[in-house]
Amino acid sequence: MSVAHDAATLLHSEVHQELRVQVDAADQNPHFTHAVARVGEKNEVIAQQDIYAENGMKLLAKGARVNRSTHLRLIAHRLELPLDVVLCAADSVDEVSMVRDMERIISADPILRNITMRSGDPQGYKSILGTLHLPAPLLFRLTVMRDDRNDLYLHSLRTAVIAHSLGVRIGLSQGTLQDLFLASICHDFGEMHTDRTILSKGRAIQGSERRFIHVHPITSYAILSKIQNMAPGVLQGVLQHHERLDGSGYPSALTEERICTEARIIAVAETVETIARRARKRQIRIAIRLNTGRLDSRYLSVADELLQTKEDIDSTSDHNIDVAGKLARLTMVLGAWPALQEKIKHHKQSIALDFIGKRVRSIQSLAMQAGLSADLLECLDLTGDDATVLPELNVALVEMDRVIDELIFEVERRTSHLPDCGPIVEDIRKTFETPSVSLPSVEHTGKM
């Protein structure tokens, strides 16, 4: 049996172990309980039945409000029943309110409006929502997300709208569209179980914190698996939505046909949604091309079709674009790679570490597709005529920055159980975590 196979087996064993842990912990998480308490300060969160600890101690009576003054009792004990079963909110998310929120999101965003109009069924998300009959625990979690992490709630709705448009254009069956839509809405439930300070906008994720970010698909799966009659397509779509065709994703490093349809579509929809919040349509299409090989080309092509229109569409554009800093990082990473490659070639675990070379070659390919080279930094006049190309360059560099960051985590994840890998992993981390060399940034006006 090969070293690479042994490493893959260890990774899958670790994922299954984490899955068991998350299923056991899904009912009670301090970060989610704190979020419930914060919501209870502005929206009535009420015990809809007496709440007991596992040992039979009564913690809260039916009708009691949950807020910052009462939630510590819930955190201090293991509960008999999950919070999302025993609590309800006065102003709760439901199918009608979600339709209204989606209508507002689409009407305010020309890119989303274009995508839904070109899908062939621009109002179809409404009828899908009407057929789902969402269970109360799921609606409670959506309510907490809406009131405590509104950015995450809106991201989930936007991703669901894009995924539905892709599914309609592809011609998925009604049942698969339902599973896809529900999985898209719930795919980030696990992030509500993560310390929100780690996820603060503009804050760099530190070393060991990556684990808490990358475990969220498992947590989302664990939460949904507790709900009766949850379709396998929904569960697997949520669990696999960060897997990538080349094996660079997480949590299981699945490849190609092992990734389900729902997860493949959500991966494309989430990529489009994330970029659409900070870029123009033309820049989104650049990012789509750069993800060929990692995301399903069929669904990327459909996304590209849905974005086509005669005129460019403005959305929120980046300001203070640090193209120079990102390009300097890319240049240093690729420049340092040959020496690092030699170290890996002569390492005891060289076969198990072979995937790193594949990933770096992918980054090199992305750089070539985007027309980026080591000489570009010196040639660009970032404050003069070349400033007009900054948005497109920034989209490409942000994608490569993300791929490099994901590679660091993949290396840590796939070598955690391999002997003699500590020093080489540290060398890889130092090489790939090279701080960006920030040159004076350029204020982008949004004009092209």
pLDDT in tens, the chain (448 residues): 454 454 455 555 666 666 666 655 666 788 999 999 999 999 999 999 999 999 999 999 999 999 888 888 898 888 999 999 999 999 999 999 999 999 999 999 988 999 999 999 999 999 999 999 899 999 999 999 999 999 999 999 999 999 999 999 999 999 999 999 999 999 999 999 988 877 666 666 666 667 777 889 999 999 999 998 999 999 999 999 999 998 888 888 899 899 999 999 999 999 999 888 776 666 677 777 778 888 999 999 999 899 876 555 444 444 455 677 788 888 888 888 999 999 999 898 888 888 888 888 888 887 887 777 656 655 655 555 555 666 777 777 877 888 888 888 888 888 877 888 888 888 888 888 755 444 333 333 333 3
- Name every residue whose Cβ is closer than 8 Å to that of residue 240 and which is 6 or more positions away in sequence: 217, 252, 254, 259, 260, 262, 263
The token pair at 92 is 């709760």
Q: Is residue 4, in this structure, part of any structural domain at all?
A: no
| Whole-number pLDDT of residue 293 | 84
Q: Please give the pLDDT value at position 107.
A: 94
CB 158 within 8 A of CB 278: no
- Alpha carbons 93 and 423: distance in angstroms, whole number: 50
Residue 442, domain member (yes or no): no
Measured CA to CA, the distance from residue 425 to residue 141 in angstroms comes to: 38
In a domain, 1, yes or no: no
Q: Of 413, 319, 417, 411, whose CA–CA distance to 357 is shortest? A: 411
**297 shares its domain with 369:** no
Residue 156 is assigned to a structural domain of this protein: yes
Closest Cα partner for 38 from 82, 69, 64, 78?
69
Distance CA 111, CA 275 (A): 11
Tokens of 447: 């004009």
User: Residue 246 is encoded by which pair of tokens?
Assistant: 């080349």
Are 120 and 54 found together in one domain? no
pLDDT at 117: 94
Question: Would you state the pLDDT for residue 191?
Answer: 93
Q: Which of 42, 70, 89 is the last residue of a domain?
A: 89
Q: Is residue 5 part of a domain?
A: no
Residue pair 106/113 in contact (Cβ under 8 Å)? The answer is yes
Length of the chain: 448
**69 found inside a domain:** yes
Full domain range(s) for residue 63: 20-89
Are 78 and 99 part of one and the same domain?
Answer: no
Q: Could you give the number of structural domains in the chain?
A: 3
Residue 30, number of CB atoms within 10 A of its CB: 12
Verify that 101 and 83 share a domain, yes or no.
no
pLDDT value for 183: 98
| Gap between the Cα atoms of 440 and 32, Å rounded | 40
Tell me, yes or no, whether 400 and 381 share the same domain. yes
Does 208 reside within a domain?
A: yes
Domain co-membership, 358 together with 420: yes
The H or E element that residue 47 is part of is strand 45-47
Q: Identify the domain boundary among 45, 63, 89.
A: 89
Same domain flag for 84 and 122: no
Are 247 and 394 in the same domain? no
Distance CA 234, CA 195 (A): 25
Domain end, chosen from 44, 62, 89, is at 89
Are 142 and 284 in a shared domain?
A: yes
Is 448 domain-assigned? no
CATH number of the domain within which 224 lies: 1.10.3210.10
- Reduce the DSSP state of residue 232 to 3 states and report it: helix
| Residue type (1 letter), 162 | I
Alpha carbon of 305 to those of 104, 112, 205, 281: distances in Å?
A: 24, 13, 34, 12
Classify residue 29 as left (phi > 0), alpha (psi -120 to 50) or beta: beta
* H or E segment and range at residue 382: none
pLDDT tens, residue by residue, 295-318: 999 999 999 899 876 555 444 444
Same domain, 209 and 120: yes
Alpha helices in 109-149, H assignment, sequence order: 110-118, 124-132, 136-148
Q: DSSP state, 258?
A: G
Q: What share of the chain is helix, strand, coil (3-state, %, to 5)?
A: 60, 5, 35
Quick: pLDDT tens for 417-430: 788 888 888 888 88
Report phi then psi at 51, rounded to 5: -105, 125
Q: Are residues 289 and 330 in the same domain?
A: no
242 with 298, same domain? yes
How confident is the model at residue 387, as a pLDDT?
57
Q: Using CB atoms within 10 Å of the CB of residue 280, give its burial: 0 to 12 exposed, 13 to 18 middle, 19+ buried.
A: buried
Q: Measuring CA to CA, which residue among 334, 316, 317, 332 is closest to residue 390? A: 317
